[in-house]
Amino acid sequence: MAGLNFIIAGLIDDELKLVDIVAGHPITAHRIAAKKARKLYVKTVQRKPDILIACSYPLEQDFFQAGKALWPVNSVIKESTVVIWISSCAEGLCCHSLDKKMKIINNALFLDFS
């Protein structure tokens, strides 16, 4: 079995333009890329919002990809925050295992994980 000795990590902006590349040993290059990504992507929230709008663009071709917009949400909301998730999901859901947890009302998708 071949080992992993080298990686290339690309950082993209919100228009999918390449803004930086890091290459080298997998652990070292990943740590450097993560540090650069934090400077590029992380924003400080002064107070937790009552309403948060999460937009998946430009990574919104399907439900799985669009979900990336929700990853940071828990770190910036309070229990009563209303989260509005905007995504085209032009290629559909992608993951059929979610079917039982989904409910569509008036063209809005609701997920129930209770």
- Confidence check: pLDDT of 101 > 70: no
Residue 69, C-beta contacts closer than 8 angstroms, at least 6 positions apart: 54, 55, 56, 59, 60, 85, 87
pTM: 0.57
Residue 50 and residue 75 in contact, taking contact as beta carbons nearer than 8 Å: no
pLDDT tens digit sequence for 59-85: 788 877 888 888 888 888 898 999 898
**What does the mean pLDDT of the chain come to?**
82
Distance CA 48, CA 46 (A): 7
Q: Which pLDDT score is estimated for 112?
A: 54
Q: Which pLDDT score is estimated for 92?
A: 73
Phi, psi of 89 (to 5 degrees): 45, 50
C-alpha pair distances (Å), 20 with each of 47, 89, 109: 31, 27, 36
pLDDT tens digit sequence for 4-23: 999 999 999 878 899 999 99
